[in-house]
Chain A
């Protein structure tokens, strides 16, 4: 029986990024932002870089203190959006990947030890997951993109 324990990542607020370029309500301790777009964000299919270095330029993003937002994609599509408060806050849940599950128990059936205790407790598989951020606002671009002329 797998069981996953979830903890909240407690970011040190001293590390909070300035992010003066986004409105106060969008700011999160980790600097993560949730954006909703209609359809799919098409990105040219190239090798992904594990080092985390951004390798595909998508365009530009702007959001003002009044909540108006603008997304320019590849320089030829323009999306207008707004900052919206989420009815229910969302947790960004990071699941532990299989190979990192160092504490995953062998699902073999256990047995009694000399005191007759701990019978088969080994069968409980513990996984771990972390909520890396709690998001209360999103930037919503739900209108069709307009071509840039």
Chain B
């Protein structure tokens, strides 16, 4: 028998936290950069715990049983062992996998030199550093970086900002023509070399770096630029640039004219799925799910307001994100809210009346 005594202070600094495999392996990795971080979301007030690439929601679970921590009494010997209860714990922290949330709606847009001052930005924009924005975002570093790079995020003069569409258009064009003129290898771009060659020293190097990273297949130098990503961005830019329906042929002409270098591939607007709608088969207009309801029923109603019949492949990008049960087929999900018919081997989706 081991002698057991207790020295339990009323307030314990100890908490018990469940460690699912991803958290455990991140913690046990010998690389110290893999540490865990607890963050709290300023909006919901919920706490999350992140590894370098994953996010977990922290939930407090009250226990009806008491969990007691014992430690060996330092002076006790093997022959006369003595354990001390030093902490009483009634709650466990459970870690539930979740997706990190990166909300960039408060991040100011960069239009050019001097545009990041308070008076040139709407009042709802926050002038904070990149480190602070990362810290404020309830997401792991990787989730944050991915979303930030995807949105042309950068830090200029210590302020986290997103490059405006026009700045991206201008500098992507400059970058591509420079790469072509100097016969640089598009699969091995060095930011410094490209920035020097562009010779637009009014703008900081971060502009070129951000654009190169956004269109690269890798996240380290030398960057491997992906012409398909670039072509797609120009397609979406062309759609957004028009405030009316375009004839598909007219759209193709504009899209091609916007890309300053040959793409080497024929353009196809199907590659822009999720960013357009065909009001008629020969017309095209910019359209995304961004402002649509997150409730599936309301989402379908909004989509049928845009047009009464959709092809299955056409409607899918606008409803996938509200399909919470990923185990079922998209067709079965759509049939819950809409009518499905097969006409000429094409699956047509329309409203239920």
Contacts and interface: CB of A to CB of B under 8 A. Distances in A.
Interface string A126-144: 0001011011001000100
Contact of A119 (B28, B39, B83, B129): B129
Nearest to A127: B38
B135 A1 contact: yes
Interface string A88-101: 11111111110000
Nearest to B81: A21
B101 interface: no
A106 B106 CA distance: 24
A90 B16 contact: yes
B66 A92 contact: no
Contacts of B8: 41, 43, 48
A56 B81 CA distance: 16
Interface residues of B, number: 60
Contacts of B20: 88
A124 B71 contact: no
B14 A41 contact: no
Interface stretch (B85-93, B252-260, B261-269, B291-299): B85-93
B3 A18 contact: no
A43 B19 CA distance: 30
Contact of A3 (B39, B71, B81, B82): B39
A43 B6 contact: yes
Kindly name the residue among B4, B39, B40 whose own CB sees the greatest number of chain A CB atoms within 10 A. Answer: B4
Interface string A25-61: 0000011111111111101000011001111111111
A54 B158 contact: no
A65 interface: no
Contacts of B14: 92-95, 132
A21 B84 CA distance: 14
Nearest to A95: B13
Contacts of A70: 1
A54 B6 contact: yes
A53 B74 CA distance: 9
Interface stretch (B29-37, B217-225, B230-238, B270-278): B29-37
Most buried by B among A7, A40, A93, A123: A93
B70 A32 contact: yes
Interface size class of A (residues with CB under 8 A): 35 or more
Given A54-B6, A129-B38, A131-B27, A33 B1 contact: no
A19 B79 CA distance: 10
Contacts, number: 192
Contact of B88 (A3, A41, A88, A118): A41
Given A36-B66, A61-B2, A123-B132, A95 B71 contact: no
A66 interface: no
A125 B88 CA distance: 29
A131 B24 CA distance: 11
B187 interface: no
Given A20-B78, A88-B18, A94-B13, A3 B37 contact: yes
B152 to A, nearest CB: 20
Interface of A: 1-8, 17-21, 30-41, 43, 48-49, 52-62, 70-72, 88-97, 112, 115-121, 123-124, 129, 131-132, 134-135, 138, 142
29 contacts: A1-B39, A3-B38, A3-B135, A5-B35, A7-B32, A17-B72, A18-B78, A21-B78, A31-B72, A32-B70, A33-B71, A34-B70, A35-B68, A35-B69, A36-B68, A39-B66, A41-B66, A54-B7, A56-B5, A58-B5, A58-B6, A59-B4, A61-B2, A89-B19, A90-B17, A94-B14, A123-B128, A131-B27, A134-B28
Interface of B: 1-10, 13-20, 24, 27-28, 32, 35-40, 42, 49, 64-74, 78, 81-85, 88, 92-93, 127-129, 131-132, 135-136, 157-159
